[in-house]
Amino acid sequence: MNKLSTEILMPKLGLTMTSGVVDEWIKKEGEPVQKGEHVCTISSEKLTAEVEAPADGILVKIIVAEGEEADVKEPIGIVAQEGETIDTQQPEETVSKPKQNQRVQEQLVPVSAEKPLVSNGERIFASPLARILAKEKNIDLTLIKGTGGNNRITKRDIEAYEHSATREVASTTDVVASSKSTASQNMGAGLTGMRKVIAKRMKTSLDQTAQLTIHRKADLTAFIKFKEEIKRHLSDTEIAGSLSLTVCVSKAVILALKEYPEMNSWYEPDANGFQTFDEVHLGIATALSDGLMVPVIRNAHQMSLKELSGAITKVTQAAREGSLAGELVTGSTFTITNLGKSGIEYFTPILNTPETGILGVGSLQDKLTLNNDGQVITTKELPLSLTFDHQLIDGAPAAEFLGRIVSFIEKPYSLLL
């Protein structure tokens, strides 16, 4: 590539983002672009974003087509100067990488590098590329019938043999495993943008975890009195206004997470395994017009109620406006999702993996009860639903954690600590 050319790279939008999908090319090949101009849109694990042109010039090559995926920092397009030529052709024949199906490879017959290419006294003819592929894939050339001139074995013969062997072995493998593989490849099929990303994440979450949900209600009688007293005795209306139910539930969760660090954790079986965190980075699930996003309040354990209130307002508003910074899209250690405004009492939240816990908040419920004088009164209760990964957390400690959240809500002055 000429040094004047500039690659358009797949951006890294968050700490845990490893790849992205190109949703739409706003600019087409051959069209002029200006530095900073939006050329395409991409979807990451939790966010849809627009990618800017890195330089002035012509979009001479689209490397990653719409709907295809690329790793972060990998080129997805090329911008060049008018009249500049670049090499965009791929070599006609390249050595294929070994297949990932190790069971298939083990059943193919290995060939020794020193073994003469002779079968039944006859010399075996093979192209140089075919020999390289055979050695790479551990395939015995004596088992292959060549289709080239003079029965010469070609690259196509190697690939056909491998495909045949793979198909034969695959037919004897577990049907359930095969169907799971097909389902994994089709996750999000027919969807685009954020909806496709959400579909993949939700399916992956359910496939890789053992999710269990438990439920409990919190009595809000003391909480309601607490709010009234704060408003009556404090002249700072901003502090009084920060005592919303969402903020106080969030504070209760943060305090409980500090006491139960196993709930403030990630599980990544193929990477870091199970790890707990001292810092609480709280995710607040936020409904958007085209899906769901989980903006993150970093170091929420260091915030007062007033600071927490401001942070929740700031990140959720930015998420709805599409202006949320990339570092505030990923990295949460525990998530809260609220369906109270929808009138839902209990529900089953799906884990925001790799997190091991998520709390669902339902709609306030009226309860008829007797007071100390024997009179019937109406009290308010808050339904809570805790989903956790049963691979890592047993039911008893999960119930204790949920009970601790309820305790903080029912003793609201503890939230000021």
Active site residues: 390, 394
Return the structure tokens found at 159: 């690939």
Rounded distance, CA 202 to CA 359, Å? 16
Q: How many helices (H) and strands (E) does the chain have?
A: 10, 21
Rounded distance, CA 33 to CA 157, Å? 45
Strand spans (E) along 233-297: 265-268, 273-276, 282-284, 286-288, 291-293, 296-297
Q: How many CB atoms lie within 10 A of CB 326?
A: 16
Residues 320, 325, 330, 333, CA torsion sign: negative
Contact call for residues 11 and 72 (beta carbons, < 8 A): yes
Q: Nearest Cα to 361, choosing from 340, 335, 333?
A: 340
Contact call for residues 141 and 117 (beta carbons, < 8 A): yes
Residues 6+ apart with CB under 8 A from 267: 209, 273, 274, 353, 354, 356, 389, 391, 392
* CA distances (Å), origin 235, targets 244, 247, 417: 17, 20, 20
Return the structure tokens found at 112: 């020794």
Residues in the chain: 417
Rounded distance, CA 282 to CA 280, Å? 6
For residue 362, the 8-state DSSP code is -
DSSP-assigned states of every residue in 182-200: HHHHTTTTT--HHHHHHHH
* β-sheet bridge partners, residue 25: 40
Return the structure tokens found at 229: 């007293």
